[in-house]
Structure 1
Amino acid sequence: MLRKILAISLMSVATLSSADTLDIGLSNTTAQFKYGVASGLAGKSEMYAELMYNDKNSIIGGVGLLVANDEMNVPGLTIGVGGKAVVAIIKETPARNKASAIALGAQVRYELPSERRLAFAGELYLAPKIITYGDADRYQQYGARAEFSISPQVQVYGGYRKTWFVLKNTSTEAVLINGPHLGVQLSF
């Protein structure tokens, strides 16, 4: 099943003509793959597709749009807002659950002006009950990371992230990703 979902995700992304970034983030229990292309809406805006899975065989995939631009009054600061649609198969609870959501979020990234190779970033996405479907009532994701540019095309990073759904009827948190991770982002 995981192979089918991964193949479909990669084929749908492969149809996009101009590649921008490939982001691979790993921990001992999770893997995240994100492919983004420049959207052309504003400054550093991008459309992306992502796939995450964990050691419990839970899978979450999504597509999104982040509209981001540099803050002119603060050199090195980029602020973005956007949304994404996510679909998940959650297997770590006693029963298999399916959930989806349309989440709204924000991202902040700050490159140190004196050392443009070092940056810090954070993101937050939320979907309340009204736009969360299936076996869940809410969706939440947040993360923070420190980035270092090895070259203009390669960044390495380390950080923390948590992604979870609140399940219906039980109000149990079905946590898909929670903890530190390391990764690399390739730009083409």
Structure 2
Amino acid sequence: MRIVTVLGAGLLAASSAAMANGLDFQLGNNTAQLEFYTGSSALGYSGGEVGFGGFVNSRHDVIGNASVKVEGLAAGQTPLSFGLGVKAYAGSIDKPNVNVGAIALGGLVKYTIPYRMPMAVVLEGYYAPNITTFGQGKSLSDLSLDYQIEVTPGATAYVGYRVLQANLKNYGEYKLDNALHVGIRLHF
């Protein structure tokens, strides 16, 4: 079953690559995440971003995700921007061998540092309560804080910290990720 899940996520990612406007690849010491994203105009709406991706850790936990989010500048001349989104998660946690699914609401706050080389600090988080968490999950939360540097107009590098955890029925809190990571985001 786990092989089917991984292959399914890989096929979804590969089919998404054809319409992708970008690729985000993130590595931690024991984690990896790959996400393809495109503008929401593919769905008939402009101004947003649609993403498809997958996460895996060294404990053989596999989580796929799909998201839709919008981001915009705050009113006036400010370096702040805000975003809101919806993110769906589905996957398998190896030990205690349970499946989890969730539909989470979230958002982001981005502070752009005024400098010749564009830099930013981004806080992004999503939360799914019990009512929108399925399988053996009671809730799911995903929170990250990143420092980004735009290396070229088509590539952004970042370093950050992420906490991805699920509250499981009969098992309590289970951390899928709770560590530093580095990543690159390529824009096509």
Q: TM-score when scaled to structure 1?
A: 0.90
Matched, 1:7 2:17: no
Unaligned runs of 5+ in 1: none
Aligned residues: 182
One-letter amino acid of the counterpart of residue 179, structure 1: A
Query: Which stretch of the first structure deviates more once superposed, 32-41 or 130-139?
Result: 32-41
The answer to whether the 8 A contact 1:89-1:97 is kept is yes
User: 1:20/1:76 Cα in 2 relative to 1: closer, same or farther (>3 Å)?
Assistant: farther
SS at match of 2:78: coil
Backbone CA RMSD of aligned residues: 1.6
SS at match of 1:5: helix
SS at match of 2:131: helix
CA distance in 2, matches of 1:78, 1:29: 31
The answer to whether the 8 A contact 1:128-1:138 is kept is yes
Match of 1:50 in 2: 53
One-letter amino acid of the counterpart of residue 57, structure 2: N
Match of 2:27 in 1: 26
CA distance in 1, matches of 2:6, 2:132: 28
Query: Which stretch of the first structure deviates more once superposed, 26-35 or 104-113?
Result: 104-113
Match of 1:153 in 2: 154
CA distance in 2, matches of 1:36, 1:109: 19
- List aligned pairs for 1:137-148, cutoff 5 A: 137-148=138-149
**1:74 Cα shift?**
4.2
Match of 1:179 in 2: 179
Unaligned runs of 5+ in 2: none
CA distance in 2, matches of 1:21, 1:129: 32
- List aligned pairs for 1:34-183, cutoff 5 A: 34-40=35-41, 41=45, 43=47, 45-91=48-94, 93=95, 95-115=96-116, 117-170=118-171, 172-183=172-183
The answer to whether the 8 A contact 2:119-2:147 is kept is yes
The answer to whether the 8 A contact 2:148-2:159 is kept is yes
SS at match of 1:72: coil
**1:120 Cα shift?**
0.8
The answer to whether the 8 A contact 2:140-2:167 is kept is yes
Give per-residue Cα distances to partners, 1:137-173, cap 9 Å, x unaligned: 0000000010111100011110000111100133x11
**1:75 Cα shift?**
2.9
**1:69 Cα shift?**
1.0
CA distance in 2, matches of 1:134, 1:164: 15
SS at match of 1:140: strand
**1:15 Cα shift?**
4.6
One-letter amino acid of the counterpart of residue 121, structure 2: F
Kindly, what percent of the aligned residue pairs are identical?
Answer: 30
The answer to whether the 8 A contact 1:136-1:168 is kept is yes
The answer to whether the 8 A contact 2:86-2:104 is kept is yes
CA distance in 1, matches of 2:18, 2:120: 31
Give per-residue Cα distances to partners, 1:38-74, cap 9 Å, x unaligned: 114454x200012100001100011010111111324
* Divergent runs of 4+, >3 A: 40-43
